[in-house]
A = this chain, B = another copy of it.
Amino acid sequence: MDRKYNFYAGPAILPYEVMKKVQEELLDYNGIGLSVMEISHRSKDFINILEAAEEKIRSLMKIPDNYAVMFIQGGATLQFDMIPMNFLKGGKADYVNTGSWAKKAIKEAKLFGNVNIAGTSEDRNFNYIPDIALSADAAYVHVTSNETIGGIQFHTFPETGDIPLIVDMSSDIFSRKLDITKFGAIYAGAQKNMGPAGVTVVIMRNDLVDKGPEDIASMLSYRTYRENKSSFNTPPCFAIYIVKLVMEWLETQGGLEAIEARNNEKAKILYEAIDNLSLYKGAAEVKDRSKMNVTFRIYPEELEAKFLKEAGEQGMIGLKGHRSVGGCRASIYNAMPLAGVKTLVNFMEKFEKENK
């Protein structure tokens, strides 16, 4: 079997050890003679999986007891709706416009109340994190911690005082240590750093969960998920099972401190290659460069297609930049091994020699 290095922005590569275990257990989980897909979500075996997934998320991220950890369907995109449905309610919220994902969140929020753009980097096609001017009376402040298309990332988060900071962390959750108490809520689709598409993790301070309206659809109220331990209806059991395995893998890697160090190293090697070689140019402002999605261009641009084709032939796929910005992009989430980044850098050096 010839495994590839997948540099796609998502769904992303998963740890090989996790995939091997999923394969081994696929027909017979824990000796029960059935797959995790084939058992009741009310069975002891599945409840153990769900509880372990939550517990491991809590311990890896050091989440205090006054926060709920919930598994929800619909991706971060449904959170773009659920957040304002629960907390905006005709009032005002501050949104920071850092790119494609922030724009989608803003568009949905406008259906439910007033959106104040507290900062935007649209003037330079979202290649930097803008300065932020917060309202005094916002219901919450919303930011996107990492933009996969522009390749920019908040390396520090804004101080929002008593106003809850709500963060879409879909593309960099579990990539670094964080002080959870600074956040009102964090949400993330699984398909970059946690597991397969189909489950979203929402970490939310209990007083915010309590603030949701009473007359809202059950499936759109955070209370429903907290009070039913994410099992008001059948949760996406198999996706949650894989999240649990990825959390166990993170533990074996040394937790968030160790994975952060490795992510820093991977990003450093790749950005150094971009800066030191002459064929490549980083797309994002240096101070705001993402450690998850490394965006760059190749000059002359005619070489890009050749670069992508030859990389693909050598087992490196998904390096094409998003159609809205062009160029190249290497997504190097937690599960991308250092060897994958080194293979890419070696190829970039070789390609430069051959094409300069």
Contact = CB atoms under 8 A, between A and B. Distances in A.
Nearest to A84: B217
A60 interface: no
Nearest to A22: B26
A197 B81 contact: no
A215 interface: yes
5 contacts: A3-B28, A73-B78, A77-B218, A81-B219, A238-B238
A37 B20 contact: no
Interface residues of A, number: 65
A39 B27 contact: no
Q: How many copies does the complex hold?
A: 2
Interface in A111-161: 111
B22 A34 contact: no
Interface stretch (A9-17, A252-260, A265-273, A345-353): A9-17
Interface of A: 1-4, 6, 8-14, 19-20, 22-23, 26-28, 32-35, 37-41, 43, 73-78, 80-81, 85, 107-108, 111, 189, 191, 195-199, 215-220, 232-239, 242, 315, 318
A41 B75 CA distance: 13
Nearest to A331: B40
Nearest to A335: B38
Contacts of A39: 6, 8, 11
B234 A8 contact: no
A81 B233 contact: no
A236 B234 contact: no
Nearest to A224: B77
A111 B215 contact: yes
A4 B32 contact: yes
A78 B198 CA distance: 14
A19 B39 CA distance: 13
Contacts of A108: 217-218
A320 to B, nearest CB: 10
Contacts of A233: 74-78, 189
Contacts of A76: 233
A236 B6 contact: no
A125 to B, nearest CB: 21
A217 B111 contact: yes
Contacts of A10: 40, 234
Nearest to A23: B26
A223 to B, nearest CB: 14
Contacts of A107: 218
